Structure 1
Amino acid sequence: MTPITEVEGRRLALTNLEKVVYPATGFTKGEVLHYCATTAAPLLAHLHDRPVSFLRYPDGPDGQVFFTKNVPPGTPAWVQAAEVPRTEGPARMVLIQDLPSLMWAANLVTEFHTPQWRADAPGAADRLVFDLDPGAPATVVECCEVALWLRERLAADGIAAYAKTSGSKGLHLLAALVPVASEDVSAYAKELAVEAERALPGLVTHRMTKSLRPGKVFVDHSQNAARKTTATPYTLRARTTPTVSAPVTWDEVADCGEPERLVFHAGDIASRLERYGDLLAPLLDPGRAHALP
Structure 2
Amino acid sequence: MVEVEGRRLKLTNLEKVLYPADGFTKAHVIDYYRQVAPYLLAHLAERPVTLKRFPDGVDAPSFFEKNASRQAPEWLRTMTLPTPGSSKGAETLDFAMLDDLPGLVWAANLAALELHVPQWTVGPRGGVRDPDLLVFDLDPGPDTTVVDCCRAAELIRSLVEADGLTAFPKTSGSKGLQLYVPVRVGNPERTSAYARAIAQRLAAEDPSRYVAVMAKARRSGRVFVDWSQNNPAKTTIAPYSLRAREHPTVSTPVTWREVERCRHPSDLTFTAPDVLARLDKHGDLLADLHKQPGRLPR
Task: Sort the TM-score into its range (normalised by shorter chain).
Answer: over 0.9
User: Post-superposition shift, 1:179?
Assistant: 4.0
User: Post-superposition shift, 1:90?
Assistant: 2.0
Of 284, 288, 296, the match for 1:292: 296
CA distance in 1, matches of 2:188, 2:170: 21
Of 46, 50, 54, the match for 2:47: 50
Alignment of 1:16-27 (within 5 A): 16-27=13-24
User: Post-superposition shift, 1:196?
Assistant: 1.0
User: Post-superposition shift, 1:123?
Assistant: 5.6
Of 187, 191, 200, the match for 2:197: 191
- Counterpart amino acid of 1:289? P
User: Post-superposition shift, 1:156?
Assistant: 0.4
Of 84, 87, 101, the match for 1:99: 101
In the other structure, the counterpart of 1:115 is 118
Of 167, 182, 190, the match for 2:188: 182
Instruction: Give 3-state SS (helix, strand or coil) of 2:289's partner.
Output: helix
Contact 1:132 1:143 in 2 (8 A): yes
Count of aligned pairs: 288
- Counterpart amino acid of 2:117? T
In the other structure, the counterpart of 2:162 is 156
Counterpart check, 1:66 vs 2:63: yes
Instruction: Give 3-state SS (helix, strand or coil) of 1:11's partner.
Output: strand
Of 2, 8, 15, the match for 1:11: 8
User: Post-superposition shift, 1:181?
Assistant: 2.6
Instruction: Give 3-state SS (helix, strand or coil) of 1:181's partner.
Output: coil
- Counterpart amino acid of 1:115? P
CA distance in 1, matches of 2:205, 2:193: 18
- Kindly provide the CA deviation profile for residues 190-246 of structure 1, in whole angstroms up to 9, marking residues without a partner as x: 000001112222110000011100110000000000000000000001111100000
Percent of paired sites with the same residue: 49
CA distance in 2, matches of 1:98, 1:143: 34
- Kindly provide the CA deviation profile for residues 46-93 of structure 1, in whole angstroms up to 9, marking residues without a partner as x: 001100001100111111210111111211111111121222512211
In the other structure, the counterpart of 1:39 is 36
Contact 1:117 1:124 in 2 (8 A): yes
Alignment of 1:121-136 (within 5 A): 121-122=127-128, 124-136=130-142
- Kindly provide the CA deviation profile for residues 263-290 of structure 1, in whole angstroms up to 9, marking residues without a partner as x: 00001012111221111112243xx111
TM-score w.r.t. structure 1 length?
A: 0.96
Q: Is there any run of 5+ residues in structure 1 with no aligned partner, and where? A: none
CA distance in 2, matches of 1:185, 1:123: 13
Counterpart check, 1:247 vs 2:253: yes
Contact 1:123 1:226 in 2 (8 A): no
TM-score w.r.t. structure 2 length?
A: 0.94
In the other structure, the counterpart of 2:279 is 273
User: Post-superposition shift, 1:182?
Assistant: 2.4
In the other structure, the counterpart of 1:89 is 91
In the other structure, the counterpart of 2:264 is 258
Instruction: Give 3-state SS (helix, strand or coil) of 2:225's partner.
Output: strand
In the other structure, the counterpart of 2:207 is 201
Contact 1:85 1:122 in 2 (8 A): no
Of 221, 227, 239, the match for 2:227: 221
